[in-house]
């Protein structure tokens, strides 16, 4: 059971990360010919949306860290 919970948390983490970067990709152009964000040329962006996606990503990381700390007996 514990293994399945950790696997789900890992999946949730990668989904949240993907969602966050999908949002960045949709609102921040890339430097020509690269995958580097060009924040100087960004469109108007709703920071509330960016924060919500980042928070979901951060929350997923923190949820997974509980299990990592337990597995490696880290306090």
- What DSSP letter does each residue of 17-63 carry, written as one string? HHHHHHHHHHHSPBPTTSS-B-GGGPPP--HHHHHHHHHHHHHHHHH
Nearest alpha-carbon partner for 45 in 30, 25, 31, 59? 25
pLDDT score, position 1: 73
Nearest alpha-carbon partner for 57 in 4, 5, 25, 10? 10
How many distinct structural domains can be found in the chain? 1
Mean pLDDT of the chain: 94
pTM value?
A: 0.83
The structure tokens listed for 19 are 């969602």
């Amino acid at each position: 059971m514990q293994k399945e919970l950790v696997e789900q948390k890992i999946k949730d983490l990668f989904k949240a990360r993907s969602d966050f970067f999908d949002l960045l990709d949709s609102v921040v152009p890339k430097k020509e010919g690269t995958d580097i964000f060009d924040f100087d040329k960004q469109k108007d962006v709703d920071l509330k949306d960016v924060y919500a996606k980042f928070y979901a990503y951060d929350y997923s990381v923190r949820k997974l860290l509980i299990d990592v700390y337990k597995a490696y007996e880290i306090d």
